[in-house]
Structure 1
Amino acid sequence: MLRLTLLAGTAAALVSQPAFAQTSNLAPVAAPAQSSPGSEQHEESQEIIVTGNYVRELSLLSGASVLTGTELLRDVRPQLGDTLARQAGVSSTSFSPGASRPVLRGFQGERIRVLTDGIGSIDVSNTSADHAVTIDPLTAERIEVLHGPAVLLFGSQAIGGAVNVLDRRIPRALPENGAHVDVIGAYGSAADERSIGAGADVAVGEGLVLHLDGTWRKTDDLRAGGYVLSPALRAEQLEIAAEEAEEGHLDEAAEATENANRRGRIPNSGTEQKTLAGGFALIRDGGSLGVSVSWFDSDYGVPTAPGAGHHHHEGEEGEEAEEAEHGEEAVTIGLEQVRADLRAQVNVGGSFLDQIRVRLGAADYKHTEFEGDEVGTVFKTQGMEGRFELVQADRNGWRGASGAQFFQRDFEAIGAEAFVPANETSQFGLFTLQEFKLGGIELEAAGRYEHTKVRSNVVDVDRSFDAFSAAFGAAYAPSEAFRFGVNLSRAERAPAAEELLSNGPHVATQAFEIGDPTLAKEKSWGLEAYVRAQAGPVRLRASVYANWFDDYIFQAATGEEQDELPVFQYFQRDARYFGFEAEASADLFKAGDFTIRADAVADYVRATVDAGGPVPRIPPLRLLGGLEAGSDTLTARAEVEWVDDQDRVAALETPTDGFTLVNASLAWRPWSARETTLILSANNIFDVDARRHASFTKEFVPLAGRDIRVSARVSF
């Protein structure tokens, strides 16, 4: 709790400074965005407010996807990755219903940053796919998916982009009429999901706003569409059953047959999650200061492959001695995080310096991997991250922000299967983002220096890295309706502690993971070209991108086994990524009070390791098309999502069959003045078997089958 104490002391010191002048003309901050009837699945703005990195109204030249309002309510799922999976260029790790992290343009793990209001989630979700992100989408009022030069402000490792989740835990504005309350609830049939959340902002004095929120969610085992196991794994289990029957092991044969023929519920996939948070903000015309404290608690099952731990060993005299470990103990994870955050802003209003902004976050994190009722491995993390930014005033089209960032993490794993030794990671960075407008031409330049140190006394490893990254963007807008541009980047990323130090069995992923303490910096060149256009009722945004890596770090199966587990090892080779993403929509016609709109999304990425074949777990081509009819009070939508087969696979990786999902939803806003939205949706209507290729567990954890959902949100 030391870091939380230090954070509280910092808050007290800032409060004591007379930095906030009292005036009566407080400029209001925009209320939570509400989707208009028939709005697109995302919002795009060339003047997007990136609250998290404190660069207000800086233009992100490659654009950004924003999920908010009715679309966020319709798409919200228990995990952040599944919530964003419909967005262009986004997939999900879908490890289990309790752990799913976003995949951006084929990148996951260390190459994307998941942020809450511009600060990292300070958990261990980036270290392994079975670890959940400590952000509950129920608390989000806005989720941004960011690319382009400005992403360097978040860290040099954000090669694939960043996801920034904005909530109200540190209020940004005085609530209208002295108070603001949000209540959200949902039910989903596929996992018998029950979820509810509520938050309130209350003005209690001159410029002082208090906040309180909490959420609760519980799900049973997820019901899949069709067989739980993939066709390849079913065939393997049936072959095992035949062999066991031939040898006279009838119980083992029956168990393997049962595994192969299991339909419906995915065993050990239930979840329960609770959050609670409180905060306050002192808001004055001269600036603001706010603090929040939050608690996150999650318990979820980790589905395992059938037959894990089922072996026969030959006796000394050639007779087979059975060691069939039937009914091996289920693996579950109990996760808890206590976190404190601070946000401060001083409005300087000078001719060069406009604002000074400070953002701090500190967390104590612990999760335990249970094997039945027995404690297997305990992961503990204490971390702190902070940012200090100087935001420049607009001077005839020149504006920007510069600052410093630090990060400190102490990690410890305790138990027989602690596959990463205790270690410390510290990081310090300096960054700048500058933007220039010259008529219809916009130029953007970003630079970042980052020093990273990873140390483990347990294995006597002490590595330091100096990473230099830069990005440049140029855009031309001959009119307000048309804009095209290009971004060029050079990034360097230090290897993470897990990539350097892993060496042991990881029960949750059923793998023996091996790192490489001699890994070098990962270096990459990136190039992106994009267009944003609108011609009357037709809108288009499309991007084509490529990344070339020197010393690309990746994890792949070696084909060997250790401790009766497949070995997954970190390697380093050159690699190439190429891809595109596109979105289009058109208002077709009016039918009474309804506007009929069509929209489409397409994305694809191809990634190859030199002399190594395809990069593992890359999502295939995806097409999504929707038809929507919207009025002031009612929006009806039907959509079809088609995902291609993925047969470009790495060595020892299995292909994944494609699938087609048909979804429909109906949103009703009966009393707009009360900001009430009710949504009835049906997802995967035809109950098809669907599996994400990006998932480590796709062979035995398919996506949800038919899921009838009811969601409601009331704000007043």
Structure 2
Amino acid sequence: MQRRILVAALTAVAANTLANEQPLEHVLVSVPLHKTEAETALPVTVLSGDELKRLATTSIGDTLRDQPGIANASFGPGVGRPVLRGQAGPRTVTLQNGTASADVSSLSPDHAVGVEPFLAESVEVLRGPATLLYGGGAIGGVVNVIDNRIPRSVPDTLSGGAEYRHDTATGLDSLTGVLEGGTGNFAFHLSANTLESDDVEIPGNALRFPEEEEDEHEGEGAERGEIPNTDTEAGSATLGVSWHLGDSGFVGLAVNHQEREYGVPPGAHGHHEQEQDEGHEDEHGEEEETIRIDLEQTRYDTQLHLHDIGGGVEVLRGFLSYTDYEHRELEGAETGTVYDRETFEGRLEVVHKPIADAHGVVGLQWREDEFEAIGDEAYVPPTESSELGLFIVEDIHVGDWLLEVGLRGDWVDRDPEGALDSADFTSVSVSGAGLWSVHDNWQLGVSVSRSERAPSTEELFSNAGLDDPEEFVTHAATGLIEIGDSDLDEEV
């Protein structure tokens, strides 16, 4: 396998925020009590500092692929989704600063995840009780991509940095810049990233034809040395501000816009195989159309953090996000299917002061989602979804044991457009983890969980309500026909 060779150049103003050394003890932002890794019984994986800079690539799945228990579901360099303990799609939740990435990556393997690894300060992968803060359906786990778009403190000086990197295998050229500053109680954050990559270089042919077709394709200029239509072009920009209330907390907001265009490798989108099955009419008819994805996403985030507000409350944290996502599948010069998703999400966490040996958080999460797919290959009807979750996660100290337990209940309603009936679900998930301090330098951990997950929109309504197989819409990315079942129950 050809390895990446990265060449980076850094410049700084006053101080370089991109070149900060990795802290000796990373404080986990995604867990309720913001502990270090050594202080929690949770099975966690963390990338931050220099290690994250070295491993960051164009997708979050590729960035995490070498971590224990994590794989990359790749569909070309433009797409890479994390697979946790063999679980992918809706069973693995990807977050941006604690709220859902709100893309359509779980709908099809050729859809990208709407997060930007190059701008991340850290990536935390959670399993165990803490995942219940973010959804009972996170059976595989939670991937939280964290940046400082809403500044958590006021910098003493204006600081900034720029980083350039090059990848010899894909011809990737990436430029990332960050500028942060503030005065008094006010802080701001500016960041941007742009990248371009060429088709992936390989030895030999990109496409393999059956033996009986070798003569037919001889001399047609089959691609050698590279996989065609695997180039990527992307850019993103973020502006965030925060107002700090002394030692009592802060409130802030941020806006991020990203655009990405990438190719789907030839043969992957189903059209070529379909033409072959039709008896090679007109010597394959027309050449297989080049499939490209043109993606745009605008996201607004607000956060509220308050400390020591009395009444037994240690910390109050509020998160609210709105995401407007759209991508177009371009088939040659024509627009095929258009996917559009609007998502509102809010979460409120209340960290209570220690009660006897228990210290933890209670809260609620709410989400409203409108999804629509338009085009000949749209096999899922427009659907509105509403979700409400209540959760509690507690740390309990008993002798040499640290126990972490969590409980979550979810109420989900999915209402498709048309004659299909809506589907309602109630799910309950429970999880526990224990850490036994055997010795000053030795610890033994164990975790167990039982999760229930409401079926996703595509699992319920794909090609639903169609009795004639001739009317089924083929899932172009996989060449398969997906048939939903609106009578599905919760997955355990």
- Give the TM-score taking structure 2 as reference length: 0.88
Inter-partner Cα distance in structure 2 for 1:145 and 1:226: 37
- Decide whether the 8 Å contact of 1:449 with 1:467 is kept in 2: yes
Give, in whole Å, the separation in 2 of the partners of 1:371 and 1:192: 25
Corresponding position of 1:371: 331
Whether the 8 Å CA contact 1:312–1:322 is kept in 2: the answer is no
For residues 365 and 447 of structure 1, the distance between their equivalents in structure 2, rounded to whole angstroms, comes to: 31
Which of 14, 22, 27 is matched with 1:35 structurally?
Answer: 22
Residue 384 (str. 1) matches residue 344 (str. 2): yes
Q: Distance in 1 between matches of 2:283 and 2:168?
A: 39
**Structure 1 residues 659-705: Cα deviation after superposition (integer angstroms, max 9, x where no partner):** xxxxxxxxxxxxxxxxxxxxxxxxxxxxxxxxxxxxxxxxxxxxxxx
Instruction: Report what 2:91 is aligned to.
Output: 111
Map 1:624-635 onto structure 2 (within 5 A): none
Residue 218 (1) aligns with residue 178 (2): no
The counterpart of 1:165, out of the listed 145, 151, 167, is 145
Q: Distance in 2 between matches of 1:31 and 1:297?
A: 23
Which deviations, in whole Å up to 9, do the C-alpha atoms of 1:514-548 show, x marking residues without a partner? 2222211101xxxxxxxxxxxxxxxxxxxxxxxxx
Query: What is the correspondence of 1:495-514 to structure 2 with a 5 Å cutoff?
Result: 495-503=455-463, 504-514=473-483
SS of residue paired to 1:385: strand
For 1:312 and 1:407, the matched residues in 2 are separated by: 44
Q: Choose which of 46, 50, 56 in structure 2 pairs with 1:70.
A: 50
Kindly state the Cα deviation for residue 313 of structure 1 after the two structures are TM-superposed: 5.1
8 Å Cα contact 2:18/2:160 also seen in 1: no
Shift of residue 350, structure 1, vs aligned partner: 3.8
State the partner residue of 2:211.
239
Change (3 A) 1:95 1:517: same
Report the alpha carbon displacement of residue 240 of structure 1 after superposing the two structures with TM.
Answer: 3.2
Is the Cα contact below 8 Å between 1:473 and 1:485 reproduced in 2?
A: yes
Residue of structure 2 in register with 1:175 after alignment:
155
Q: Secondary structure at the match of 1:408?
A: strand
In the aligned structure 2, how far is the partner of 1:32 from the partner of 1:450? 41
Relative distance call for 1:482 and 1:369 in structure 2 (3 A) is same
| Structure 2 residue identity aligned to 1:34 | E
Identify the residue that residue 97 of structure 1 maps to in structure 2.
Answer: 77
Q: Residues 212-244 of structure 1, C-alpha deviation per residue, up to 9 Å, x if partnerless?
A: 111100111111345435xxxx3xx242315xx
Deviations along 1:145-175, one digit per CA (max 9) or x if unpaired, are: 1111111111111111111111010001111
8 Å contact from structure 1 (residues 339, 362) kept in 2:
yes
SS of the aligned residue for 1:512 comes to: coil
Deviation at 1:253, TM superposition (A): 5.7
Distance 1:293 1:312, change over 3 A: closer
Distance 1:32 1:154 in 2: 30
Q: Is the CA contact 1:52–1:116 (under 8 Å) kept in the aligned structure 2?
A: no
The structure carrying a bigger strand percent of its residues is: 1
Q: What is the CA distance between 1:420 and its match in structure 2?
A: 1.1
Aligned to 2:382: 422
Of 173, 182, 186 in structure 1, the residue corresponding to residue 165 of structure 2 is: 186
Alignment check: 8 A CA contact 1:312 1:324 kept: no
Per-residue deviation at 1:105?
0.9
What amino acid maps onto 2:193 in structure 1? Answer: T
SS at match of 1:101: strand
| 1:279 maps to 2:259 | no
Deviations 1:368-403 (A, max 9, x none): 001011010100000011100101223554210000
Partners of 2:30 and 2:124 within 8 A in 1: no
In the alignment, residue 168 of structure 1 is paired with which amino acid? N
Q: Gapped runs of 5+ residues in structure 2?
A: 1-16, 464-472
Q: Residues 425, 240 of structure 1: CA spacing in aligned structure 2 closer, same or farther, 3 A cutoff? A: farther
Provide closer, same or farther for how the CA distance between residues 135 and 313 of structure 1 changes in structure 2, counting only shifts above 3 A: closer
Q: Deviations over 1:289-325 (max 9, x none)?
A: 01001101000001132843433757xxxxx953613
Going from structure 1 to structure 2, the CA distance change for 1:182 and 1:479 (only over 3 Å counts) comes to: farther
Q: Could you tell me whether the CA contact under 8 Å between 1:213 and 1:278 is conserved in 2?
A: yes
**Amino acid paired to 1:514:** I
- Residues 48-103 of structure 1 show CA distances to partners (whole Å, capped at 9, x for unaligned) of 63324653228541331111111111111111100111111111001111111111
- Per-residue deviation, 1:417: 1.1
Alignment of 1:290-369 (within 5 A): 290-305=252-267, 307-311=272-276, 322=282, 324-348=284-308, 350=310, 352-369=312-329
Matches within 5 A, 1:289-688: 289-305=251-267, 307-311=272-276, 322=282, 324-348=284-308, 350=310, 352-395=312-355, 397-503=357-463, 504-523=473-492
Change (3 A) 1:400 1:253: same
Query: Which structure 1 segments of 5+ residues have no match?
Result: 1-29, 37-42, 315-319, 524-716
Deviating 4+ runs (over 6 angstroms) = 30-33
Q: Which residue of 1 aligns with 2:5?
A: none
CA separation of 1:309 and 1:326: change in aligned 2, threshold 3 A? farther
**What is the CA-CA distance between 1:274 and the residue it aligns to?**
0.6
**Do the aligned residues in 1 keep the contact of 2:349 with 2:364 (CA within 8 Å)?**
yes
Determine the C-alpha separation between the residues in 2 that align with 1:378 and 1:449. Answer: 34
Measure the CA separation in 2 of the matches of 1:339 and 1:375.
Answer: 24
Q: Name the % identity.
A: 34
1:124-273 matches, within 5 Å, as: 124-176=104-156, 178-203=157-182, 205-229=183-207, 234=208, 237-241=209-213, 245=215, 250=216, 252=217, 255=220, 262-273=223-234
SS at match of 2:63: helix
What CA distance in whole angstroms lies between the structure 2 residues aligned with 1:31 and 1:311?
Answer: 51
Q: Check whether the contact 1:60–1:149 (CA below 8 A) recurs between aligned residues.
A: no
- Kindly tell me the number of residue pairs found equivalent between the two proteins: 461
2: CA distance between counterparts of 1:491 and 1:453?
18
Q: Which amino acid aligns with 2:487?
A: T
Cα separation, 2, equivalents of 1:160 and 1:313: 40
Greater Cα radius of gyration, structure 1 or 2: 1
Q: What letter is aligned with 1:507? A: A
1:288 aligns with 2:244: no
> How far apart are the structure 2 equivalents of 1:31 and 1:476?
37
